[in-house]
């Protein structure tokens, strides 16, 4: 009697329409069930049977129901799949291909086949790029993917690099070169400076050398500084095939162990590189540093030929200045260059400490790899005096370029940093009052006031306060028009000193040349500015992901079992603490269950960066703690640690 009853059908439709719906992101767990995260405060349970219709990270609309007195959700509609283009590992079963996505919490074996344009054949353990083409919430009975490209095979020692670059859709090889790319395209008159004692200071193994410097001391104590920068735009015409490739890559991508260059290595490491005793075309800037450390207004940009007299290393120069080690400058004239550069560096650091923002000495961690890519160890590298000499020289050159561009054409690619917006300035001021530091929001939103705040914080040297204030600050960005860089403490800043490695610097080179040659400049588009920001973000993510992968490989070694590490807390998450091992820089996660057995008594306050147990503060960002490694998960590149309560 009820079959095909239109009234019953309508009743069901009405009931279905009245069922409340919620929208959110699927979060899966290792035990088969999941949650639909609506916002930072609210989530709903997804039973295992309903999780089979979705994947971790999917954005969906779901029906909100009551089951056994508990609110649950049933996925109804897919808004945006987490997987679209993705990388994964091939598993072959009974001559059928499956791919396991290379993401934490995604354990699905997805049926797959090469698409019609894919020429690769796939074996068990291969890594591949795939495209999800069928999803269960779109009416298909299975998840299905098409393989578009093989990345590499299971036994390749370079898997961490190849897979990470493929995931972020970044180039995995240097650009191809054509004979025409190696020919000088510009025949401008250039000043011959090949007789001057230009030197370069870099890491001992650097091949893409893009800056050389020459200094001279005047009788009144002022220092004249000439910075000569490699000139790849003399070989690469605007709009050429190689220029378009560089404009897509934007940067040389520096990863642990090796780099993927923006330009062909024949150009970046040979023809354009300022190698010793090689005549090279450059864009040069001549500046005068006054006795108080300030830069004279008399700045000259010009085209030149130079010949570097010596390639020096940071460590050798630092050793000699610090009177340790056995290295000595190869000639008296180079010794004189180093001595004047050292004086220039100290002058500028003193000036910046008073008038701008002086950086704190930082530590970098560098992987020591074998020739085939195996991790041997991690080396700690500190910024030494020779690093600071080059840094100060390049900062002077970049300030000068920004001023020169602004004065002559009013545009370029500028590095900008806006400090605090008004809301965050109020939050920062309120936070600082807790430590008897009295500033006004109006004050710290000016360049002068921001610099003053940074100087006070540098003197205070409290890492917790520093980390909270950084949380309120805006991020650095790029602009096609002049603007201040609060974090550096300058009214404008434009880099042009690394054109072999950065496309934005190539753009500024072309603009500087247009002013020098009195030609009409081409204003950079807003699109290129956004492209630079996006590519920088992707490169940084790739560097972090490769590092995380290498750390999980390194720390599996037996010598690290039961070892006690000193660590610094870097972040407070909703479910635990993130910390960095001071010995090697590895990031570890300490889950709530290792911190205190009763979850209800724990409060991870992300807003203030502190952990409370029964309302008493126990941990905060910047605290130094001791930890042991608990679990190293290679498949998710995560390192789980637990506090060592015995020390």
Tens of pLDDT along 368-397? 999 888 899 999 999 999 999 999 999 999
Least confident of 177-191, 196-210, 259-273, 557-571: 177-191
Tokens of 460: 């205070």
The yes-or-no verdict on residue 52 having pLDDT over 80 is yes
In the chain, domain spans: 17-80, 85-156, 179-416+487-545, 422-474, 555-643
Residue 554 clears pLDDT 90, i.e. is over it: yes
- Rounded Cα distance between 626 and 645, Å, is 8
Q: Which of 564, 557, 543, 547 is nearest to 629 (CA)?
A: 564
Q: What's the chain's average pLDDT?
A: 93
pLDDT at residue 1 greater than cutoff 50: no
The answer to whether 255 and 161 have CB atoms below 8 angstroms apart is yes
314-321 helix and 385-408 helix, angle to the nearest 10 degrees: 110
Q: How many CB atoms lie within 10 A of CB 210?
A: 24
Going by pLDDT thresholds of 50, 70 and 90, the confidence category of residue 105 is confident
- In the three-class reduction of DSSP (H, G, I as helix; E, B as strand; rest coil), residue 336 is classed as helix
pLDDT of residue 104: 81
* Positions marked catalytic: 202, 208, 210-211, 314, 501
Kind and range of the H or E element at 547? helix 526-554
Question: How far apart, in whole angstroms, are the C-alpha atoms of residue 592 and residue 307?
Answer: 60
pTM: 0.91
Query: 152, 159 in Cβ contact below 8 A?
Result: yes
Nearby residues of 609 by Cβ (< 8 Å), 6 or more positions away: 464, 467, 468, 471, 571, 572, 620, 621
How far apart CA 327 and CA 29 sit, in angstroms, is 57
* CATH number for the domain whose boundaries are 555-643: 2.40.50.140
The pairing of strands 300-307 and 191-192 is: parallel
CATH of domain 85-156: 2.40.50.640
pLDDT at position 120: 87
CATH no., domain 17-80: 2.40.50.140
Tokens 């920062």 locate to 428
Q: Answer whether 85-156 and 555-643 agree in fold.
A: yes
Q: Which pLDDT band holds residue 4 (cuts at 50, 70, 90)?
A: low
Tell me the longest C-alpha to C-alpha distance in the chain. 111
Q: 18 in helix, strand or coil?
A: helix
Q: What is the mean pLDDT of residues 597-619?
A: 94
Average pLDDT over residues 451-459: 94
């Amino acid at each position: 009697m009820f079959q095909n009853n239109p009234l019953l059908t309508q009743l069901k439709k009405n009931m279905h329409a009245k069922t409340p719906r919620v929208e959110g992101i699927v979060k899966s767990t290792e035990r088969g069930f999941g949650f639909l995260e609506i916002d930072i405060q609210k989530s709903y349970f997804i039973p295992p049977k309903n999780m089979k219709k979705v994947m971790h990270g999917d954005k969906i609309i779901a029906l909100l129901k009551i089951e056994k007195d508990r609110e649950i959700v049933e996925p109804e509609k897919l808004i945006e799949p987490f997987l679209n283009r993705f990388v994964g590992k091939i598993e072959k079963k009974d001559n059928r291909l499956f791919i396991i996505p290379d993401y934490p919490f995604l354990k699905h074996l997805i049926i797959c086949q090469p698409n019609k344009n894919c020429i690769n054949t796939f074996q068990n353990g291969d890594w591949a790029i795939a495209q999800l083409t069928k999803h269960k919430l779109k009416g298909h009975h299975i998840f299905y993917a098409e393989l578009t490209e093989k990345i590499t095979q299971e036994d390749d020692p370079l898997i961490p690099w190849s897979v990470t670059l493929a995931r972020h859709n970044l180039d995995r090889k240097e650009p191809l070169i054509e004979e025409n790319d190696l020919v000088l395209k510009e025949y401008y008159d250039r000043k011959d400076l090949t007789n001057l004692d230009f030197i370069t200071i870099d890491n001992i193994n650097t091949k893409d050398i893009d800056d050389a410097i020459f200094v001279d001391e005047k009788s009144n104590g002022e220092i004249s500084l000439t910075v000569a920068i490699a000139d790849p735009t003399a070989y690469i015409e605007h709009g050429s095939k190689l220029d378009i490739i560089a404009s897509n890559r934007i940067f040389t991508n520096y990863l642990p162990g090796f780099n993927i260059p923006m330009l062909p290595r024949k150009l970046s490491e040979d023809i354009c590189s300022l190698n010793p005793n090689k005549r090279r075309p450059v864009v040069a800037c001549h500046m005068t540093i006054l006795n108080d450390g300030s830069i004279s207004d008399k700045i000259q940009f010009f085209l030149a030929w130079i010949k570097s007299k010596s390639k020096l290393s940071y460590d050798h120069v630092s050793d000699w200045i610090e009177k340790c080690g056995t290295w000595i400058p190869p000639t008296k004239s180079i010794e004189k260059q180093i001595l004047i550069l050292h004086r220039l560096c100290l002058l500028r650091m003193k000036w910046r400490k008073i008038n701008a923002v002086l950086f704190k000495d930082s530590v970098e961690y560098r992987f020591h790899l074998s020739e085939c890519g195996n991790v041997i160890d991690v080396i700690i590298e500190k910024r030494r005096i020779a690093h600071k000499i080059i840094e100060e020289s390049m900062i002077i050159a970049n300030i000068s370029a920004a001023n020169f561009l602004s004065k002559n054409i009013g545009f370029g690619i500028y590095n900008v940093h806006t400090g605090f917006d008004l809301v965050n300035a109020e939050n920062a001021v309120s936070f600082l009052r807790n430590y008897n530091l009295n500033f006004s929001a109006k004050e710290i939103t000016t360049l002068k006031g921001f610099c003053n705040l940074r100087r006070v914080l540098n003197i205070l040297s409290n890492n917790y306060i520093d980390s909270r204030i950084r949380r309120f600050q805006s991020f650095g960005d790029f602009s096609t028009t002049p603007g201040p860089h609060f974090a550096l403490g300058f009214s404008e800043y434009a880099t042009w000193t690394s054109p072999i490695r950065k496309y934005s610097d190539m753009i500024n080179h072309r603009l500087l040349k247009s002013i020098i040659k009195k030609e009409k400049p081409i204003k950079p588009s807003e699109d290129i500015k956004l492209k630079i920001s996006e590519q920088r973000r992707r490169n940084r993510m790739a560097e972090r992901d490769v590092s995380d992968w290498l750390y999980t490989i390194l720390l599996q070694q037996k010598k690290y079992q039961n070892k006690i590490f000193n660590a610094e807390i870097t972040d407070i998450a909703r479910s635990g603490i993130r910390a960095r091992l001071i010995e090697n820089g590895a990031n570890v996660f300490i889950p709530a269950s290792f911190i205190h057995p009763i979850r209800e008594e724990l409060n991870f306050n992300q807003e203030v960066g502190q952990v409370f147990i029964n309302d008493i503060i126990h941990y905060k960002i910047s605290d130094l703690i001791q930890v042991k490694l608990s679990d190293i998960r290679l498949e998710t590149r995560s390192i789980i640690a637990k506090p060592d309560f015995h020390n």
